[in-house]
A and B are shown apart, each in its own frame.
Chain A
Amino acid sequence: MWNRVEEVLGDVRRPSRYVGGEVNSIDPGQVDADVRFALAYPDLYEVGTSHLGLSILYAVINAHPHASAERVYMPDLDMEQQMRERALPLFTLESRTPLGDFDFLGITLQYELTYTNIINMLDLAGIPAWADDRGADDPLVIGGGPNALNVEPVAPFFDLVVLGDGEEVVLDLLELYRDPRTGGDRKTFLERSSDIEGVYVPSGYTLDPEDPQAPPRPLEGFPERVRRRIVPHLDDVPVPTRPVLPFAEAVHDRAVVEVFRGCTRGCRFCMPGMIYRPVRERSPERVHGCVHEILANTGYEEISLVSLSSSDYSAIESVTTALAESLGRQHTSMSLPSLRVDRFSVDLANRVRAVRNTGITLAPEAGTQRLRDVINKGVTDEDFGDAVRAAFSAGCDQLKLYFMLGLPTEREEDILGIAEMVERARRIYVEVGVGRRPLKLNLSVACFIPKPHTPFQWEPQLSIEAFRDRISTLRHALPRRGVRLSYHDPDSSRLEGIFARGDRRLAPMIVEAHRRGARLDGWTEHFDPGVWEEAEKACSVDAAGYLGSRDLASPLPWDHLDSGVSREFLLEERARALAEVRTPDCRMGSCSACGVCDPTLGNEVVNPDV
């Protein structure tokens, strides 16, 4: 196997993506463990190596005395072609072991448009795509990640799926697998694993042919609903301070430390904001220690403090101030992604930046106060004005703004409101008088996709034609010069929307699209809507049904996957949205009874005075 791989490498672009051997990756001599995991990211190496979730699992499993984990990514098209021509099975980077030889194959579910990559990787590995077709010699294929909470369109490809935080579940699964009473037999193992909190076994549930929109029904012995696993204290779980340092430049070429998990701002369109509740902050001491460890172990020039909204970390000021000083001496910079739209956040970003401040990215999401109240994005016109003023005053001359079109209740004035905000930013730029060069303003617009487990899960998604109409309304309202408008490809948003609120009946379409050549659909240069159209027809998929509005009284295909947030809360939030009433962040005091917390679990904020 080793030499067969060597022979291919001279014929492919960027071969370093397939050789492993990176700093902090495990040594091939180390993998001789009882239980072997392959961890797959179903996209190219440069995307996959930046992913924090898999990096955590890699550390957790490799720290176990009887288990080892290796990595595998989606090969690029040229590599795939070579592998198919030479009948070379997909292998892990560390020991070049074919995926079929592993006990477990873990695949992360990050994004709907990676679904054909999953089929492709299984196919390249010679593992049957359908879980039902796998036998005793095949690995157990596990899914996890944000889309586990609506895994139905790909559920038939997985033997089991982990809902929620994975670092404890994976150890539970390991124990169960090593237990001679359960580990030996696939069926027994799957049955017993459904007793572990957070584990969903798709084969234990069947669709009712009379009512295919309803969630699949449990067979005997499987629970009615599967509850998401939640780690109560972030300080109790390991931090990957020895992350693999990729050779090929990764999309996020920097060290990351997670400062908190979950977010309770309550943006009504946001799935992560609903399915990762409550907020669990890491202690500042721990953050501080981890930053230094990770830099010492990698040599990265930049550290990113990540979370769903890093300026909301209650110890952010003290942590960044303390870090900025020591990092400056080491020629290391700090970044805070996902900034809130207000002056505090922008000032903070300016202060921590050790290198030159050139550009800033803000996401007001909607063009008017009214619509921002509907989506509960707590950004006022004043916040926006203050934020851009602060950025420009600090010398920033590039601004990137993110908006969505097609949000519930959107009217023409909301679209025009986006143009007004752009105009306002330009006026402020002139006023502040940085004025040497003209402001570079990038406006990025996406189509709103109703996501499961959010208050907008019942809402319709815009058709491609309607999206184009609204884009053209916006374009006409924008100044002719000085603004670059870009928008997501509406065809891919449509497909993402179908899967987001999809059910099991979509699985054959994914296999069919893959058969017709679809892969790497998340990359504009590879995405081919024509192939999907054919697959849709071949499988008689009712796309309009998936994209339309859903009946409030009927069950939804993901109702058996319990995020912890109650249906009542989502309905209540939906009603408040339509009434244009905001709901405050529960971290600030009053609980809005979403259903997640219980006496042992709640928001954990390290600095409650902020």
Chain B
Amino acid sequence: MSEAVTRVRCEVRIHGRLRWISHLEFLRAFTRALRRADIPVAYSQGYNPHARLSFATARSVGMASDAEYVDVFLGQECTGSAVKNQLNRVFPAGIAVSDCRRVSVDGPALAARINASRYHVTVEGVARHCLCGAVDAVLDAPRLHVTRHRNNKPDRSLDIRPGIFSAAVIRGESEQLAVLVDLALGGEHGVRVEEFLGILRSHLPETEAANGVFLPRRIALYHRGDDRDVSPWCI
């Protein structure tokens, strides 16, 4: 059961009350779900064998997501749909595999290729024209500086404008206002959605900035290339 013969890629949704679990807690919950579901996971060799999984990227605590990706290396042939069904039987409400497909066992790791992320941010307590104004102002700014706190190191000021690929105000289901935003993930220009929202808030009139409630949800991860975007299924 140790040599990996195949790899499946799972697209996972985390929503409802479980958006409050941390990335590490999700990792452990996923590992144990694989064990409960009796999936023939490949194990690493060595003193302390562990299940061979790889995660595309971490998610911040409190954010719901439709697009977490986990690669699972298997010691036996298995179809993606079998893995999906077995896992969904054992996950608690709030975690679910929405899609699962086989990918090449020795292809690249997702973490190495994913460099962009899309968020759907529902907005409450802000008038549409104010929100549009703020989004335009953010996109028009040549530079947007944020301060990052680092453990045991001095704070660092950083321009996040290059990491904001696009942003647009939309009207979602039930007429709710929302912002759709694409941000760089990881690397030199990586931007956290909280940082983007902080900047956006600072471009709103005072009362709206104070009352506005922003609820981000990750809706996609992808590779942003020079000429085209690549979905995780094609990496």
Chain A residues in contact with chain B, CB under 8 A? 9-10, 14-16, 18-23, 25, 27, 245, 247-249, 295-301, 330-331, 355-356
The residue in chain A whose Cβ has the minimal distance to the Cβ of B16 is A21
Contacts of A14 in B (CB 8 A): 22
User: What A residues does B49 contact at CB under 8 A?
Assistant: 331
Q: Can you name the residue of chain B whose Cβ is closest to the Cβ of A17? A: B20
Q: A21 and B93: CB pair below 8 A?
A: yes
**Does B198 sit within 8 A of A, measured CB to CB?**
no
Look across to chain B and name the residue whose beta carbon is closest to the beta carbon of A15: B20
CB atoms of B25 and A9 under 8 A apart: no
Which chain A residue shows the least CB distance to B48?
A355
B92 touches A299 (CB 8 A): no
For residue B35, which residues in chain A have a CB less than 8 angstroms away from its CB? 295, 299-301, 330
Q: A21-B16, A299-B32 are in contact. Are A16 and B21 (CB under 8 A)?
A: yes
CA distance A25 to B109 in the complex (A): 35
Instruction: Rank and list the top 5 A-B pairs by shortest CB-CB distance, nearest first.
Output: A299-B32, A299-B35, A15-B20, A299-B36, A247-B25
A19 x B33 contact (CB < 8 A)? no
Pick the residue among A21, A300, A301, A356 that contacts B94 (CB under 8 A).
A21
Residues of B within 8 A of A21 (CB): 16-18, 92-94
A300 to B51, CA, bound (A): 13
* Mask of B3-32 contacts with A, CB within 8 angstroms, 1/0: 000000000000011101110010011011
Q: Which of B87-111 contact A (CB under 8 A)?
A: 90-94
| Measured CA separation A9–B21 after assembly (Å) | 11
Name the contact of A296 in the complex, choosing from B33, B36, B48, B93 (C-beta under 8 A).
B36
- Closest residue of chain B to A333, judged by CB? B48
B43 interfacial by beta-carbon distance below 8 Å: yes
Instruction: Kindly state whether residue B190 has any CB partner on chain A within 8 Å.
Output: no
Q: List 11 A-B contacts (CB under 8 A).
A: A10-B62, A19-B17, A19-B21, A20-B17, A21-B17, A23-B29, A27-B93, A248-B25, A299-B32, A300-B32, A356-B47
Contact, CB under 8 Å: B62 / A23: no
CB pair A22 B20 closer than 8 Å: no
- The answer to whether the Cβ of B191 comes within 8 Å of any Cβ in the partner chain is no
Residues on B with beta carbons closer than 8 Å to the beta carbon of A298: 32, 36
What is the CA–CA distance of A594 and B182 in the complex, to the nearest angstrom? 74
CB-CB under 8 A for A331 and B16, given A15-B61, A299-B33: no
Is chain A's interface secondary structure helix, strand, loop, or mixed overall?
loop
A15 / chain B contacts, CB cutoff of 8 Å:
20, 61-62
Question: Given known contacts A21-B17, A247-B21, what 14 new A-B pairs fall within 8 Å (CB)?
Answer: A16-B22, A18-B20, A19-B18, A20-B17, A21-B18, A21-B93, A27-B93, A245-B32, A247-B25, A249-B25, A295-B35, A299-B31, A299-B90, A330-B35
Nearest to A29 among chain B residues (CB) is B93
Distance of A330 Cα from B35 Cα, bound (Å): 9
CB of B34 within 8 Å of the partner chain: yes
Q: Given A16-B25, A21-B93, A248-B25, is A297 in contact with B36 using a C-beta cutoff of 8 Å?
A: yes
Residue of A nearest to B94 (CB): A21
- How far, in whole Å, are A245 and B20 apart by their CA atoms in the complex? 16
Chain B positions near chain A (C-beta within 8 angstroms): 16-18, 20-22, 25, 28-29, 31-36, 43, 47-49, 51, 61-62, 90-94
Central interface residue in A19, A25, A249, A355, by most chain B CB within 10 Å: A19
A413 to B32, CA, bound (A): 51
A233, chain B: closest CB distance, angstroms: 31
A356 to B48, CA, bound (A): 7
Distance to closest chain A CB from B37 (angstroms): 8
CB distance from A100 to the nearest CB of B (A): 22
Least CB distance, A156 to chain B, in whole angstroms: 37
Closest to A295 in B: B35
Which residue of A has the minimal Cβ distance to B38?
A: A296
- A247 near B29 with CB under 8 A, answer yes
Query: Contacts A15-B62, A355-B48, A356-B47: A9 and B20 contacting too (C-beta < 8 A)?
Result: yes
Which residue of A has the minimal Cβ distance to B30? A299
A247 contact set on B, CB distance < 8 A: 18, 21, 25, 28-29
Q: Write the nearest CB–CB distance from A18 to chain B, whole angstroms.
A: 8
With CB as the reference atom, state the residue of chain B lying closest to A330. Answer: B35
Known contacts A9-B62, A10-B62, A298-B32; A16 and B48 CB within 8 A of each other: no
Q: How far is the CB of B12 from chain A (nearest CB, A)?
A: 15
Q: How many Å lie between the Cα of A25 and that of B17 in the bound state?
A: 13
Closest to A24 in B: B92
User: What's the Cα separation between A301 and B36 when bound, in Å?
Assistant: 11
* Most chain A CB inside 10 Å of its own CB: which residue of B28, B62, B94: B28
Q: Is A249's CB under 8 angstroms from B17's CB? A: no
Q: Which B residue sits closest to A355, measured CB to CB? A: B48
Chain A residue with the shortest CB-CB distance to B25: A247
Cβ contacts under 8 Å, B20 to chain A = 9, 15-16, 18-19
Inter-chain CA distance A245–B22, complex, in Å, is 15
CA of A355 to CA of B49 in the docked complex: distance in angstroms?
9
- Which residue of B17, B32, B92 has the most chain A CB atoms within 10 A of its CB atom? B17
CA distance A16 to B20 in the complex (A): 5
Residues of A within 8 A of B17 (CB): 19-21
Quick check: B92 and A23 within 8 Å, CB to CB?
yes
With the chains together, A165 CA to B205 CA distance in Å?
63
Chain A min CB distance to B84 (Å):
17
Closest to B91 in A: A23
Measured CA separation A330–B41 after assembly (Å):
10
- Cα A16 to Cα B61 in complex, Å, equals 9
Given A15-B62, A16-B25, A331-B49, A22–B92 Cβ distance below 8 Å? yes
CA distance A369 to B92 in the complex (A): 54
